[in-house]
Amino acid sequence: SPGLYIVATPIGNLGDITHRAVEVLRGAGAIACEDTRVTGKLLHHLNIKQRMIRYDDHASESDRERLLALMETQPVALVSDAGTPLISDPGYRLVRMARERGIAVTSLPGANAAVMAVTLSGLPNDRFLFAGFLPGKAKAREAVLAELAPVRATLIFYETAPRLEASLQAIAAVLPGRDVAVARELTKKFEECRTGLPEELIAHFAQHPPKGEIVLLVAPPSNEPAGDIDIDALLRAELM
């Protein structure tokens, strides 16, 4: 039926797409995507022939209006280059406007690098804060880390290989003594997740320059994993 379908696609391994996602992509009236070349490859792999409409960070009001008009009469799928749309990817304004206009909006869950990394890392997972990409400039990067310093949760950042070392240096300086995890090339052939102090990982990656896509995680401030807290004792205390 008509509406907006937010569809998660693989983050590397093409097997990581749900049956429902394939059905929705096949049955949609159009697929809005960041890059028609990237999505074209996925559709080709899935043997789907579909009309693609570019929708990226540079989309204009009229691009949005055109898509919103389509959604009134047919199913429109929104995908990004990889993983879950809107998670450090375009789509927020489109979803917001569709909702405001009473257009049916639903989301098909699937691959997401941040969630996968937190499950792999061995860092506490009861509370985590996804903070997107760190700023590229040193001052701004340190300011963001300082702002997050008191947060009692595992911090998750999206990262790129060329910036990894600078980010690890900044974490060593602003959040000293905390374990970090570097999760790389998730779901792909050279998938790896390494945990240690930032200094240790800086030394490692100096020998083995990192390639590919990276999620960077930072342990919460306490040495005691938040997961060790006795929830029953806390609940008993609250009831008394």
Query: Closest separation between CB of residue 21 and ligand SAM, Å?
Result: 13
Residue 160 forms beta bridges with which residues?
213
- 166 or 226: CB nearest ligand SAM: 166
Would you count residue 167 as binding ligand SAM (CB under 6 A)? no
Query: Closest separation between CB of residue 113 and ligand SAM, Å?
Result: 3
Helices (H), the chain: 19-27, 36-45, 61-73, 92-100, 113-121, 138-148, 164-174, 198-207, 231-239
Report d(CA 165, CA 96) in Å as an integer: 36
* Contact characters 138-157, ligand SAM, x per CB under 6 A: --------------------
Would you count residue 210 as binding ligand SAM (CB under 6 A)? no
State whether the Cα torsion 165-166-171-174 is positive or negative: positive
Span of 63-71, 139-147, 208-216, 221-229 interacting with ligand SAM by CB under 6 A: 208-216
Query: Closest separation between CB of residue 179 and ligand SAM, Å?
Result: 18
* Contact characters 176-205, ligand SAM, x per CB under 6 A: -------xxxxxx-----------------
- 129 or 226: CB nearest ligand SAM: 129
CA distances from 124 to 27, 42, 67, 74, 131 (A): 40, 34, 41, 43, 16
**Binder among 153, 158, 205, 220 for ligand SAM (CB under 6 A):** 158
| CB-CB contact of 197 with 179 (8 Å) | yes
Torsion of CA 240, 128, 134, 80, to 10 degrees: -140
In the block, which residue shows the tokens 């799928």? Answer: 77
Would you count residue 80 as binding ligand SAM (CB under 6 A)? yes
**Binder among 112, 121, 154, 167 for ligand SAM (CB under 6 A):** 112
| CB-CB contact of 154 with 124 (8 Å) | yes
Would you count residue 125 as binding ligand SAM (CB under 6 A)? no
For residue 188, the number of C-alpha atoms closer than 13 Å in the C-beta half-sphere is: 15
**Binder among 71, 78, 155, 159 for ligand SAM (CB under 6 A):** 159
The secondary structure of 199-230 as a DSSP string is: HHHHHHHHHS---SEEEEEE--SSSS-GGGS-
**Binder among 89, 165, 199, 200 for ligand SAM (CB under 6 A):** 89
Would you count residue 160 as binding ligand SAM (CB under 6 A)? yes
- 182 or 239: CB nearest ligand SAM: 182
- Give the other-Cβ count within 10 Å of 12's Cβ: 20
Report the interface residues with ligand SAM, using CB under 6 A: 11-12, 80, 82-84, 87-89, 112-114, 158-160, 183-188, 213-215
